[in-house]
A and B are shown apart, each in its own frame.
Chain A
Amino acid sequence: MKKEKWLFNISPKNNTFNLNLKEVWQYRDLLFLFVKRDVITLYKQTILGPLWYLIQPLSTSVIFTLVFNNVAGIKTGGIPPFLFNLAGITTWNYFKECLVATSDTFKKNEQIFGKVYFPRIIMPMSIIISNLLKFAIQLFILICFYLYYVFFTNSGIRPSEFLFLFPVLIVFMGMLGLGLGMLISSMVTKYRDLTFLVSFGIQLLMYISLVVIPLSLFQKKGVEWLVMYNPMGYIIETARFLLLNEGNISQFGIAYTVIFSVLCLLFGTVIFNKTEKTFIDTI
């Protein structure tokens, strides 16, 4: 019998490591249209529009500065506490937004996923990209304050000579958020418990991610283990080092973060691809 030639094949199991990147490439226009959709529809029917993205980190920084630095008396080295907190929160927010939004992928898009096929990974990818826009807005306000402190006060702040590495940090943060988010969203299809875990877990995680409390304080109190294995802690600390030349960088931390992010993204993608075939039956 002659061997039949077929271009496509639908079978029960995905090959675990077949990530179908070719197909994702074919749908690249969809990726950009989803990003465009998110951007266009972001501020529809709001009065303050993009200002909301400034209000949130600014007010959080003010409150954190009052509570943690003025009341609780946490020392931030030579850095003005407000700038210290703003830098931490801005960086942290990008990770948080990515994780929270992607961890909801399957549940939120159940309607459209149940009707038509496209590579599901397009959806979380578009979230990561459109969140970059929000991040850019928040980064802009951080830069404004930063320049103010550099030129109009004698706080002596100057960026590290490695500042150009900052975008690399954002990439790893995106990878981490995407990977974890996809992992959680795959599991949420079956076990809804995780939704609750994400919403309060992310708040708890912030406190051990060095957003408001510097690593030096953890070390001084001997509770370093709390932050030792948290890659986000290293990312925030490194971000502050690059921007404010404050804090210490460990080679172990950076290597650990890079490996963790890459593994997380790989693992998340594999699980996500496995889930996309059958999630509609279990959600």
Chain B
Amino acid sequence: MMKQQDVILKVENVSKQYRLGVVGTGTISHDLNRFLAKVTGKEDPYLKIGESNDRSTKGTSEYVWALKDIDFEVKRGEILGIIGKNGAGKSTLLKILSKVTGPTTGCIKYNGRIASLLEVGTGFHPEMTGRENIFLNGAILGMTKKEISHKLDEIIEFSGCERYVDTPVKRYSSGMKVRLAFAVAAFLEPDILVVDEVLAVGDAEFQKKAIGKMQNISSQAGRTVLFVSHDMVAVRNLCSRCIILEKGVVIFKGEVEVGINEYISQTERNIQNFNFKERKKINNLPFFADFILFNKEGNISGSFKISESIFLRSTLQSKFKAEVTLRISIFDLNEFRILAFDSNNTQEKFFLKKGTNIITCELLDGLEIKPDKYYINISIRNGVDLLDHIVRVASFNIVESDYYDSGKLIEGDIPLVLKKNNWKLN
């Protein structure tokens, strides 16, 4: 019975359905059907249909399940990590938890106050002063005027904006706005705090402050934190338990170490490789018939250490002899083009023979970039003419490793590009 009481939040079979496409005349007929079913006491006709939320394939149904039968419990004082790829349903789950939107089926039971730190600074009015905004924002987050007055000095001190507190917020720098907003939320003292990607905003110092405050909230005040992120390092540092979401389903719940390992290996298995079989070429130009990444051992892989050798092998089919140049571009998840290997730049032209040709790009020292997920685009050209190109032909992960051979992982914030160097004291 004691154990029962420890559970502060219980999520039971929560599902969320979304309708795809635009709202148009179809919507009103669906609404009418739904209404008819309700009046005649039947089940909602659109609840039975719906597909899992796999965005890469075009589904047949207009309805998808962003979340399906989510089931978990959180104990008092625990920091639970919720991890998953983009589109796995994390944000939807958080929205339901913070009552921004309701679930389609299922229910959530909890004791105490839930507050969400979804995005700090919503609700600031630019024309009002910092002090007025503290009150307004605090009240939006659910505090009473009395509570806020009580903590006002602490909030102002934590934000470090004393000097500007009677100046309209529109004169604040964006960093000051974030600090002020976080300060308000930090003194909210809810029983359950929901945090989503706040750490993505603000500088390193602010992030440290935010993480420290969260640890504080849980360890000293015994409050519960639900922490959503795809920053594995932060999850590992903060959380004791985690759940992994994939395509709207919980695929793992348990210890954080086990969970993160599971998540990484699962990501490797699930590289969204381009399906070459379904490819149809309409013209007679040379085209890509296959593209793979493999490591030094010659095994196909989707995950490489920072300085591990990577081999990118393109298979080209041609119906005639041709002269082409090849370009491989690497993008990060923000669609930022990080690197490109273009044989045109190195004045290398490949003379394709009739039939199958294999071209391999060797990166013997690896990519030496920050551990993260990356995508590859490939193209072949003849001079300026684009013969074939494939967007997101493959993806891979760069994983943390002992890059400097120092016997430990790289500490702190890893920059985008890494380079080995020598230090010399003269």
Contact = CB atoms under 8 A, between A and B. Distances in A.
A44 B104 contact: no
Instruction: For the complex of A and B, list the 9 residue pairs with the smallest distance between their C-beta atoms, beginning with the closest.
Output: A277-B102, A117-B99, A6-B109, A30-B139, A11-B107, A10-B108, A29-B145, A115-B122, A41-B127
Interface stretch (A106-114, A132-140, A154-162): A106-114
B18 interface: yes
Nearest to B185: A116
A114 B97 CA distance: 12
Contacts of A44: 127
B107 A9 contact: yes
B4 A10 contact: no
B142 interface: yes
A10 B103 contact: yes
Interface of B: 1, 4, 10, 18, 23, 27-28, 95-112, 114, 116, 118-119, 122-123, 125, 127-128, 132, 135-136, 139-145
Which interface class (under 10, 10 to 19, 20 to 34, 35 or more) fits A? 35 or more
A18 to B, nearest CB: 14
22 contacts: A2-B1, A4-B4, A4-B109, A7-B112, A8-B114, A9-B110, A10-B96, A10-B103, A11-B102, A11-B108, A12-B104, A12-B107, A30-B139, A111-B122, A113-B100, A115-B100, A116-B116, A116-B118, A190-B23, A277-B102, A278-B101, A280-B100
Contact of B142 (A6, A10, A34, A118): A118
A203 interface: no
A120 B128 CA distance: 22
Given A10-B108, A12-B102, A112 B122 contact: yes
A244 B268 CA distance: 81
A27 interface: yes
Given A36-B132, A40-B128, A115-B116, 9 more contacts: A4-B109, A10-B97, A10-B107, A11-B102, A12-B105, A41-B127, A113-B100, A115-B100, A277-B101
A2 B103 CA distance: 26
Contacts of B136: 33-34, 37
B10 A114 contact: no
B103 A280 contact: no
Contacts of B119: 115
B103 A11 contact: yes
Given A7-B112, A29-B144, A40-B132, A190 B27 contact: yes
A44 B169 CA distance: 13
A166 to B, nearest CB: 32
Contact of A282 (B23, B104, B112, B143): B23
B72 to A, nearest CB: 14
B31 to A, nearest CB: 8
Contacts of B110: 6-10
Interface string A221-237: 00000000000000000
A33 B139 CA distance: 8
A7 B118 CA distance: 23
Nearest to A9: B109
A23 B302 CA distance: 51
A190 B122 CA distance: 24
A2 B2 CA distance: 12
